[in-house]
Amino acid sequence: MASRAARPPRLQHIHIPGSTHCLPSYALAVAIQSKLQQRLLDYKAAVATASEDSSRPLPPPPPPPTILSFIPAPTYTLGRRQTSPLCPVEAQRLRGRLDVYWYKHDKSSKGKTAEEGVDSRVINGQTLDHDHHYASFYPAIHNAPRGGLTTYHGPGQVVFWPVMDLKSPLHRHFSVRDYACLLEKTTIASIAEAATSSLPSFPPEAVRQKEVKGFTTENPGVWVKRRWADGDEDEADGRPGPEGEEERKIAALGVHLRRHVTGLGVAVNCSMPVRGPESYDPWRRIVACGLEGKRVTSLAYEMLDYLDQARWIRAMGPQPLVLLEGQYKNKNRESWAEAPVLETQMLRAWPEFFARSLQGRPEEASADGARGSDSTTTMTRDDLVDDLTIDEVLGKGWENTIDVPEEEQYITATRKRVVGTIPLEST
């Protein structure tokens, strides 16, 4: 067991910035993660060399644990078990056009109407404000070094990839099982916190339930129970039916290790659609993670009345990350893009809970993993987490050292400009 410092090192949090029509690609995130992993592997190699040769100087302190977060461009990833290439028909289906609802902040369009060239949407007889748009994407397909089968990443989801040495002297040591539990408990605590923190932003009449409780099962990831009462909508076919409930996956988990250095992590569904046709709901194109009969869900779908479409969409309104409770010290930093409220609250909560649990002893951690030892419970998020840019961690010019085609660094969307009803409930 590594010695514990009186004041734990701060966790580095790097958020790859993006906006509706310029989202970071999965390939770019993998390249940045690889650079962070290589720093730790180089340090471990230097320590091993110094221990074998006393004439060599000791290396500097190890790099601190880092979390890489991003809201990804639409991407389907394949697991290690999928050794055969996809057949052309299946690949074409996955790469088919996907219409993603997202918020577009366009100050120049204030006060304009649809006839003047600005999108207008009519939902249940109500016209949405002109700042809400659809964007069309063509999803990428990538192989990932994880177990499981095909899963999806895209707008409305926040991905967290911790890069850390499970045997680092900076924090308590973890087995692979302990680390997986750390990811699960952090996600469960963050889902509950993001739901509670987002409530003031939602119209009360649009709220379906105020709390979202996650749990684990024999299947990987974090799950929630979707309940409906007698006479309400039957989740199986969309018609009224008897009382029932169903386990649904709200966060996917995948881990890859190299010499105890972690890769991949958790993807949390915040406001992505989980119903509708294939052109709108990306999950209809796959059996998520190969789990037949299991469906996915999102925080928005659990919290809000999805059938009242206009209110549901307005509730997805964004807030700038730089203004979130004063968390980010440099208010002039342009790298923090706007995001819907659930994603914003998740970006605040997940790194904090991870930092707390990272430092706490197992016997001192609470049941939900939200608090660590006594030394961390009195600390604020600012005491535990450094929100940094990629340049601040990897140095300026880092983009010249990665092997990612320019077109794969950020995926630019093609906007749809169609006036009319959005078919959210089409089947």
Q: What is the pLDDT of residues 1-37, one digit of tens each?
A: 344 444 557 899 999 987 766 889 999 999 999 999 9
Whether 353 and 193 have beta carbons less than 8 Å apart is answered as: yes
pLDDT value of position 83: 64
289 is catalytic: yes
Which pLDDT score is estimated for 292?
60
What per-residue confidence (pLDDT) applies to 271? Answer: 87
Task: Count CA within 13 A, CB hemisphere, residue 365.
Answer: 21
Correct CATH for 11-105+120-415 of 3.40.50.920, 3.30.70.1050, 3.30.930.10, 3.40.1350.10: 3.30.930.10
- Residue 92 burial (CB count, 10 A): 10
Give me the DSSP letters along 138-169.
Answer: --EEEE-SSSSS-EEE-TTEEEEEEE-BTT-T
* Summary count for the chain: helices (H), strands (E): 10, 20
Cα–Cα distance between 304 and 233 in angstroms, integer? 14
Q: Tens digits of per-residue pLDDT, 304-335?
A: 877 665 556 655 655 555 434 444 444 444 43
Beta bridge partners, 240, equal: 233
> Distance from first CA to last CA of the chain, Å, rounded?
54
Q: What is the pLDDT of residue 310?
A: 56
Look at the block and give the residue holding tokens 């850390």: 164
Contacts of 147 (CB under 8 A, 6+ apart): 79, 80, 81, 220, 254
Which pLDDT value is given to residue 123?
37
pTM: 0.83
Q: Where are the domains of the chain?
A: 11-105+120-415
Task: Return the pLDDT at 129.
Answer: 43
Residue segments in the chain with a per-residue pLDDT below the cut of 50: 1-6, 104-131, 230-231, 234, 236-237, 239-241, 322-337, 361-373, 417-427
- Active-site pick, 87, 181, 270, 289: 289
Q: Residue 20: what pLDDT?
A: 65
The tokens describing 61, both together, are 């302190």
Cα separation, 300 vs 424, whole angstroms: 14
Give the number of other CB atoms < 10 A from CB of residue 208.
15
- Residue 89's pLDDT is 86
